[in-house]
A = this chain, B = another copy of it.
Amino acid sequence: MMSAAEQEAGRRRRGRRTVNSELGPAGVDTLLAASIEVMSEHGYHGTSVRDIAHRAGVSPAALYHHFPSKHDVLVTIMDRGIEELLERTGEALSAAGPRAIDQLCGIVDVHVRFHLEDQHGTMLGTSEVRALAEPFRGEHLAKRRKQQRFFDRVLLGGTREGVFHTAYPRDAARAIVVMCTGVASWYRPEGPHSRTEIARRYQELALDLAGRRIG
């Protein structure tokens, strides 16, 4: 007969392989990865603590060793996500230099790549804001507005610079963010185009939306 410890170790290993490809501290990170997988498929309310635990290969109670509540798991995922996006966007903006065209290409590249690489996490992030309780909801929305303002500034700057000719820079900025965010909901890794190619195309589409004249 197999000992409880052997059973348990086996279960954990299996859990790790599914979610985490065999390494890592297997605690918080495994649970977060499992949560992202299963929540992005069925939504926050459509996912039970037992679903998460089963996917992670642990018991339901194990989740409460690492997080105070199911809600806190969501908060952690959403906050890590938006924070990384903000950081990467800021970096891209610094690296782009002073020209609005370069800036727009830079932040669109980051935005698209981020939503392609962390497809499930970002889908959670965009669809489950409503599941956040206050004050986390308010804080998260503030960070989203901050991210939006990056795009607003680039569009308005380019308009003043005279390189963007759209009559509605704010609407164009919002449209660009929405369209780049949207890639997470249709992208399939087995599709015909590489992530790099998709990012390149969206830079072009964003420039069109900004009203860059050809010539």
Contacts and interface: CB of A to CB of B under 8 A. Distances in A.
A175 B131 contact: no
Interface in A49-87: none
B186 A182 contact: no
Nearest to A47: B45
Interface SS majority for chain A: helix
A204 interface: yes
A125 to B, nearest CB: 13
A130 B168 contact: no
Contact of A41 (B130, B172, B186, B205): B130
A163 to B, nearest CB: 14
A188 interface: no
Interface residues of A, number: 30
Interface stretch (A1-9, A88-96, A206-214): A206-214
Could you say how many copies of this chain the assembly holds? 2
Interface string A128-169: 001100000000000000000000000000000000011110
A205 B127 contact: no
B43 A131 contact: yes
Contact of A167 (B127, B204, B213): B204
Interface of A: 41-46, 127, 130-131, 165-168, 171-172, 174-175, 178-179, 182, 186, 201-202, 204-205, 208-209, 211, 213-214
Instruction: Please provide the 8 A-B residue pairs with the shortest distance between their CB atoms, ordered closest to farther.
Output: A45-B45, A45-B46, A178-B182, A175-B179, A168-B201, A178-B179, A179-B179, A208-B208
